[in-house]
Amino acid sequence: MTNDNSRSYSEKIHIWGRIWGVIAILMFISYPLVVSIYYSAWPDAGPFFKGLLGVAPVFWLVGAIEAFTYAPMLGSGGAYLGFVTGNLTNLKVPCALNAMESAKVKAGTEEADVISTIAIAVSSIVTVLIIFAGVLLLAPLQPILESPVLAPAFANILPSLFGALAVIFVSRNWKIALAPLLFMLVLFIAVPSLASSVSIMVPVGALIAIGVSRILYKKGKI
Amino acid sequence: MKDFSVNSIFLFAAAGLVVVFVVVQSVFFLVKAWKRAGELGIARDTLKRVVKGSAVFTIAPAISIILGVITLSKFLGLPLPWLRLSVLGALTYELPAATTAANALGIPIAQGVADPKVYSTIAWVMTLGIMSGLIIITFFSQKIHKGLNKIQSRDKSWASIFNAALFMGMISAFLGMIFAKITTGIVGWIPVFIMLISSVIMLVCGYFVKVRKVRWLEDYAISISMLLSMALSIPVTNLLS
């Protein structure tokens, strides 16, 4: 393998990523577009902007934050695919981290980029298949999935996921993890209502972690 | 005007087309990354483990996404939630976005939408309201990664600490969130207990992987911890509430 080769892959990924990304944006817009045309039902400006104002400020911010936090974690290929296929925090990002961990590749390298892309691609395909099966089998599945017996299991999916993730990542980087963890503990206990906007707190945690580890690094402690 | 139903064949076809497109894109990236992995000398065995591990990992979160589809389908029918949650969207956004849009329009979300105009308004708002991440990645990802490469070429060991710090920021935010309700009493502690149970199961898995050399377990340890602690949350919740 030569350096030339590797440069061309990462360049190609950006070209592919951009082309697929632009088509994806157009495809996503096509849904409301064809609905409006087919049913001759265009939204009135008033309600449309009122709705958009209610949704866009928060979710544009969250999306921007996610882009800047997750892009480095997922690598270039993984980021292009992950942001088209969605469900990042609750699925794609942990899945990619898990895959990079099990393949023993170092985040930020081209190996990690490739592994993360494969993990996200597989996860997207499996997600689409499972949800498709779910939609097909909705009638028999609905009472099971919505039964009060199972409700606690779905309510606790994030604690179940992050409890296990924490063991791997916090134990290895506890010096980096300590400060942001303590900060978040105090913050969320003091202001429980922040739980609904946890995504906005991710970059805050990242900045604290980066700041503290920069100091520790300069002092030669990590 | 054509007869409108939130579950019409036309809407299913329109949504299905987009879902198929995203599957094709996933396969495209999978093939390209797989080939590149071969050139980089990553063992085929490792790649197969990544594929299996990722597929198993996806099952529980994907099933919880179906639950989101069901919730939204009572209001918006199946095609739109199916589309939004299979691709692009996320459980955590689509529900609040649909609710906010409906509130702005002054429509109750308890019953199905019957007016195509209302439906198209909500579809437009959900589509345009949740797109910034994709737009930024599509047009600025190269810049972001160039910046990272600069850090990396300047100081390799700092670059890897920088990466670890990003992970820690994300993980600490979510771990903190799990404690958000502890002041409401014992029920508020349930997520904390579930998190601890999951950690303990993960430690047990780690023991078998590292000490007992049960290699296959390594790729499934997180999935097993997640599924078992989700299952255990049922008796724990019943016991405490």
CA distance linking residue B205 with residue B211, whole number of Å: 10
Q: What angle do CA B226, B230, B236 make, to 5 degrees?
A: 135
For chain B, how many structural domains are there in total? 2
* Interface membership of A166 toward B (CB under 8 Å): yes
Segments in chain A forming alpha helices (H): 3-38, 45-85, 93-102, 110-136, 138-145, 151-155, 157-172, 174-190, 198-218
* Interface membership of B76 toward A (CB under 8 Å): no
B32 pLDDT above the threshold of 90: yes
* Chain centre to alpha carbon of residue B180: 21
Question: What H or E segment, with its residue span, contains residue B6?
Answer: none
Residue B174: Cβ-neighbour burial (10 angstroms; 0-12, 13-18, 19+) = buried
Tokens of B85: 């949650």
CB A205 within 8 A of CB A183: yes
Query: Which DSSP symbol is given to B200?
Result: H
CA distance linking residue B237 with residue A211, whole number of Å: 38
* B34 occurs within a structural domain: yes
Q: pLDDT value at position A5?
A: 53
Residue B212's pLDDT band (boundaries 50, 70, 90)? very high
Contact list, A50 vs chain B (CB under 8 Å): 104-105
In chain B the first and final C-alpha atoms are separated, in Å, by 52
Nearest CA in chain A to B58: A123
Question: What H or E segment, with its residue span, contains residue B199?
Answer: helix B186-210
Question: Chain-wide mean pLDDT for chain B?
Answer: 91
CB B36 within 8 A of CB A95: no
Tokens of A120: 């996200």
3-state SS class at B98: helix
Subunit contact B138:A185, Cβ cutoff 8 A: no
Q: pLDDT value at position B197?
A: 98
Contact list, A167 vs chain B (CB under 8 Å): 199, 202-203, 206
Q: Give me the residues of B, 137-156, that contact A with CB < 8 A.
A: 137-142, 144-145, 148, 152
* B167 occurs within a structural domain: no
In chain A the first and final C-alpha atoms are separated, in Å, by 33
**Tens-level pLDDT at each residue, chain A (222 residues):** 445 555 688 899 999 999 999 999 999 999 999 999 999 999 999 989 988 988 888 888 888 888 988 998 899 999 999 999 999 988 999 999 999 988 999 888 899 999 999 999 999 999 999 999 999 998 899 999 899 999 999 999 999 999 999 998 888 889 999 999 999 999 999 999 988 778 788 889 999 999 999 999 999 888
The last residue of one of the domains, among B96, B114, B130, is B130
* Interface membership of A74 toward B (CB under 8 Å): no
Q: pLDDT value at position A1?
A: 43
Residue B198's pLDDT band (boundaries 50, 70, 90)? very high
* B56 occurs within a structural domain: yes
CA distance linking residue A68 with residue A100, whole number of Å: 20
CA distance linking residue B98 with residue B93, whole number of Å: 8
Query: Which DSSP symbol is given to B111?
Result: S
B104, B193: one domain: no
Q: B22 lies in which domain range? A: 9-130
The arithmetic mean of pLDDT across residues B29-33, rounded, is 97
CA distance linking residue A115 with residue B95, whole number of Å: 31
Q: What does each C-alpha distance from B156 to A108, A175, A216 come to in angstroms?
A: 10, 19, 16
* Interface membership of A178 toward B (CB under 8 Å): no
Dihedral pair phi/psi, residue A44, rounded to 5°: -75, 150
Q: In chain A, where are the structural domains located?
A: 173-222
Question: What H or E segment, with its residue span, contains residue A131?
Answer: helix A110-136
Q: Give me the residues of A, 89-128, that contact B with CB < 8 A.
A: 89-91, 93-95, 97-99, 102-103, 105-108, 110-111, 113-115, 117-128
Mention every residue, 6+ apart, whose C-beta is less than 8 A from residue B43.
Answer: none
CB A107 within 8 A of CB B163: yes
The last residue of one of the domains, among B130, B149, B164, is B130
Nearest-neighbour CA in chain B from A144: distance (Å): 10
CA distance linking residue A38 with residue A19, whole number of Å: 28
Dihedral pair phi/psi, residue B2, rounded to 5°: -70, 155
* Chain centre to alpha carbon of residue A42: 32
Largest separation between any pair of C-alpha atoms in chain A: 66
CA distance linking residue A200 with residue A62, whole number of Å: 6
Tokens of B20: 């198929």
Residue B13: Cβ-neighbour burial (10 angstroms; 0-12, 13-18, 19+) = exposed
B123, B41: one domain: yes
Subunit contact A16:B29, Cβ cutoff 8 A: yes
Query: Which DSSP symbol is given to B99?
Result: H
The arithmetic mean of pLDDT across residues B67-91, rounded, is 89
B121, B203: one domain: no
AA identity, residue B122: I
* B168 occurs within a structural domain: no
pLDDT in tens, B82-140: 999 998 777 777 877 888 888 877 888 777 888 999 999 999 999 998 889 999 999 99
Q: pLDDT value at position B150?
A: 87
